[in-house]
Amino acid sequence: MSSREPTLADVAELAGVSLTTVSRVLNNRGYLSEKTKKNVADAIETLGYRPNSLARALHGKRTHTVGLIVPAVSLPFFGELAVEVENALADAGYRILICNSMGRADREREYLSLLVGNRVDGIISGAHNEGLGEYDTIRMPLVTIDRELSPSIPNVRCANEEAGAMATRALIEGGCRHPLLLTSRSGPRNLREAGYRTEVERAGLTPRVVTVAFDTPTPQRFAMVRDALDEARTTAPVDGVFATDDLAAAEVLEWARTRNLSVPTDLSIIGFDGTETMRRALPHLATIRQPIEAIARAAVSILLDQIEGKATRSSSDEAWAPHAQTVEFSGTLIQGRSINA
């Protein structure tokens, strides 16, 4: 048995037809007899021939492949997001290439180059690296999830500011007077933090934010969360924590256990994401559930509209300039025993 992949020429030879005829069968062009179509189909099945997507792209045809860049599918939110994006694309006849940036800008750059070089029809980016100028040079359909890259690039996300306020209100209404925010990056672009600050200040309380970087390696992460919370408690009481993802909330639960703090009597805890994985692992954790399927399907729908040509081009730089939009979906408060009702 040959170790090489079968070619179009192999199919033509086995079917007893020309290369042009095989191409016409594959592309459903012109009149062809049923016998010819069957001979070509039988040859393709016998040889296990697979059309070369890159070659099709070089001839101006779609590859029906979309690239998805995420930090890591091992993280519950991004794992479930990847599944929902893949399902939505499959429903439309597209395949997916999943790229894990692992929180590294250099790896994201490499994946962008790979996807563009392989002529995918479009890219959905949910990675969290900032300041990547490469996106400004991409001339293909592009959508982001929970990430603002440019005013001309559509962004689909949970209504983070509204949801952050909802989580904080749950703590305050449960009696917390010293609620603290645990997040990966503090600043004006952190909309969950903005919602937290609004509610805390509305209640006449003092905002307090501690950060542990998103790309902190797992072996060191709990130690950093522990140290950050210990330090926070030395300066003022902490009776509630809003963690901006459920994995961080799980680490707060573990910290509370090691410090003999009763949850929620001594410390209330609420997370964010509400994935099926975390709900099964920590059913007692209060959290904000993101509508992952709705987010994924909206992102795919917008991307497919661009692929189908329902996008305009900027007259200034000729880059893709779809009717830039931010599509937000409301989160849902999931009550749990980790907060006072």
Instruction: Centre a 10 Å sphere on the Cβ of residue 17 and count the other Cβ atoms it contains.
Output: 18
Preceding omega of 217 cis (within 30 degrees of 0): no
User: What pLDDT sits at residue 324?
Assistant: 63
CB environment 283-305: b (16+ within 10 A), e (fewer): eebbbbbbbbbebbbbbbebbbb
99's tokens: 């790229």
Closest CA to 210 of 227, 189, 192, 191: 227
> Splitting the chain (341 residues) into consecutive groups of 10 residues, what average pLDDT does each group show?
69 86 75 87 83 52 87 92 96 93 85 85 86 78 88 91 98 98 92 98 97 84 95 96 97 97 98 96 98 97 90 43 76 97 81
Q: Do domains 65-158+292-329 and 160-291 have the same CATH topology?
A: yes
User: What pLDDT sits at residue 313?
Assistant: 32
User: What pLDDT sits at residue 55?
Assistant: 52
CA 325/CA 312 separation, integer angstroms: 13
Q: Name residues whose C-beta falls within 8 Å of residue 123's C-beta, 6 or more positions apart in sequence.
A: 66, 67, 68, 69, 112, 115, 138, 140, 141, 142, 143
Cβ proximity of 288 and 163 under 8 Å: yes
CA 142/CA 121 separation, integer angstroms: 9
Extended beta strands in the chain, E state = 65-70, 95-100, 122-125, 142-145, 155-158, 179-183, 209-211, 240-243, 268-273, 286-289, 312-313, 320-321, 326-329, 332-334
H-state helical runs in 19-127: 19-27, 34-47, 53-58, 76-91, 105-117
- CATH superfamily, domain at 65-158+292-329: Response regulator (3.40.50.2300)
Distance from CA of residue 271 to its chain's centroid? 18
Q: Is domain 8-51 classified as CATH 2.40.30.110?
A: no
Cβ proximity of 85 and 296 under 8 Å: yes
3's tokens: 């170790």
Task: Compute, in degrees rounded to 10, the torsion defined by CA atoms 76, 101, 302, 28.
Answer: -110
Distance from CA of residue 290 to its chain's centroid? 12
CA 172/CA 205 separation, integer angstroms: 10
User: What pLDDT sits at residue 138?
Assistant: 80
Map out the domains of the chain as residue ranges: 8-51, 65-158+292-329, 160-291
User: What pLDDT sits at residue 4?
Assistant: 67
Cβ proximity of 147 and 123 under 8 Å: no
Q: Output DSSP code: residue 137.
A: G
Cβ proximity of 327 and 154 under 8 Å: yes
CA 271/CA 182 separation, integer angstroms: 10
Single pTM value for the model: 0.81
Q: Is domain 160-291 classified as CATH 3.40.50.300?
A: no
169: three-class secondary structure by DSSP = helix
Cβ proximity of 264 and 340 under 8 Å: yes
User: What pLDDT sits at residue 322?
Assistant: 44
Closest CA to 8 of 59, 62, 67, 64: 59
Q: Is the dihedral angle over the CA atoms 15, 21, 25, 30 positive or is it negative?
A: negative
